[in-house]
Amino acid sequence: MRVCIGGTFDVLHAGHVALLKKAFEIGSVVYIGLSSDEFLKKIGKEAKPYEDRERNLIEFLKKMKWEEKARISPLNNIYGTANSENFDAIVVSPETEKRAREINEMRRKKGLKELKIVVVPFVLANDGIPISSSRIKNGEIDGMKRIKPMKVCIATENEVKIEAVKRVFDELFDFEIFYESIAIETKKQPFGKEIFEEAMKRANSCKKCDYCVGIEAGIEKQYGIHFIEQIVIIKDKAGFTTYGKSPSFQCPDWLIEELKKGKEMKEAIPFKKGEESKGAIWYFSHKMDRLELTKLGIFMAMLPRMTKNF
């Protein structure tokens, strides 16, 4: 099988190794497009000179005993020759999967067979964020270890949600974390798909942090039953996004009727004074409060980042 793969390969790291390993695992010949200096200059990206990157790559291929199957050539645009040559497959990361699909669209228009797209999952550092050459060069990570403090943005002013995020992240990571909360205008009482949409809106609201956390609660109807549920979406600086839910529970008909009148949950439920922040789960159970429920959802959204087997 003729396999193609492309990249800058500025600082060889575990993510590159995973991509190359898969390419040489499935390919009888692997064509590696190495970004040219001219192409990098055109897109405003800084990297070591082509000759240095090529030499380091060749040394790595020899170390892995892959050099006989490898063919390295300059990559002068984002598609290289993958949209025209007789390759069988292309190996990409989740970040570049969209580009591979664009290549297949170009190949279809030219009457060429589509490439098999092989997506290799991100390799994550111990902060749950994909490893990259830029992160290594910026002194953010050393190999797979975080060495700079992390900044987490929580897209809400709700104190319970903010505290829940802090508790989960502080339990998961053993390095310094700075937290920031921002106000986001969202629907007063989301129903159905609006819950996911509003959570995503929150998760997309910050571009300057390592993580942006979006949490939204609402009413979802399944099998004719209304459930109170909470969706958590966590997006990192690389664009890698993971999802989770808190446990959901049945919503009584009388509360649905009040919510349909335009009321929020805290307005519709007759809480005792000072118990509003504990949420509907506390009102109905007096065993669990909203903080614990929200923590579970955040943990579920972080789960894909916490295990190598995901």
Query: Alpha-carbon distance 52 to 142, whole Å?
Result: 21
CATH 3.90.950.10 fits 147-306, yes or no: yes
Q: Please state the domain extents for the chain.
A: 2-121, 147-306
- Can you tell me whether residue 35 is helix, strand or coil? strand
- Could you read off the pLDDT of 40-59 as tens digits, one per residue? 999 999 999 999 999 999 99
Q: How confident is the model at residue 218 (pLDDT cuts 50, 70, 90)?
A: very high
- Could you read off the pLDDT of 65-87 as tens digits, one per residue? 999 999 999 999 989 888 888 89
Q: What is the predicted pLDDT for the residue at 265?
A: 86
User: What is the arithmetic mean of pLDDT over 185-201?
Assistant: 90
What global pTM score does this model have?
A: 0.90
* pLDDT above 90 for 266: no
CATH of 2-121, one of 2.60.90.10, 3.90.1170.50, 3.30.930.10, 3.40.50.620: 3.40.50.620
Q: CA 114, 117, 123 angle in degrees (round to 5)? A: 165
Look at the alpha carbons of 62, 64, 66, 70 in this order and tell me if their dihedral is positive or negative. negative
* pLDDT above 80 for 31: yes
Nearest Cα neighbor of 165 from 293, 294, 11 is 294
Query: Alpha-carbon distance 224 to 240, whole Å?
Result: 34
| Amino acid identity, position 74 | P
Query: Alpha-carbon distance 168 to 305, whole Å?
Result: 13
Q: How confident is the model at residue 6 (pLDDT cuts 50, 70, 90)?
A: very high
**What is the average pLDDT value for the chain, to the nearest integer?**
94
